[in-house]
Structure formats: structure tokens, C-alpha cells
Amino acid sequence: MSWNLEGLQVEGKYLGEIPVSGVVDLSRIQYGGAVSHHVKLDKSVNVFGAMRDRVILNHTEVVRVL
């Protein structure tokens, strides 16, 4: 799997536990070499009492690329 997932539909576990799916707006390399993905969600999720329609997934949290 390539590190650049921009424009692709992905499924993942936000914070390692909250299932999310959506389209990647931006893939970037962080300081230190890790990769993160900015994901616009298909369906908003409740994260510690706040509704989120976008999240940032670490590359290791991506479960599936559709």
C-alpha cells in the first residue's frame, strides 16, 4: 500500500477504537517520518462528547483502502 491515499475511500480505527470511514483529503509525512491522513467522514462520529465530521488518522490506524 502506498503512503499517499489522497482521494481514496478508507476505513480505520480513530484513536485505535472508534470505527470511521471516509475520503482522504490530505496525506502527509509528519516530523520523524510517520504518515497521517486527514479524512472527511461519511458519517459524523461522537468523540468524547464532541461530534466530528473530519479526523486525522495515523497510517497504522487505516484498516482498509476501498
In a domain, 31, yes or no: yes
In a domain, 38, yes or no: yes
CA 40: distance to chain centroid? 8
* Domain span holding position 43: 9-65
- For the chain, how many structural domains are there in total? 1
Helix (H, G, I), strand (E, B) or coil at 60: helix
In a domain, 1, yes or no: no
Q: What is the pLDDT of residues 13-55, one digit of tens each?
A: 999 999 999 999 999 999 999 999 999 999 999 999 999 999 9
Which of 32, 31, 45, 38 is CA-nearest to residue 59? Answer: 38
In a domain, 36, yes or no: yes
* The pLDDT of residue 1: 65
DSSP 17: T
Neighbours of 12 (CB within 10 A): 23
In a domain, 50, yes or no: yes
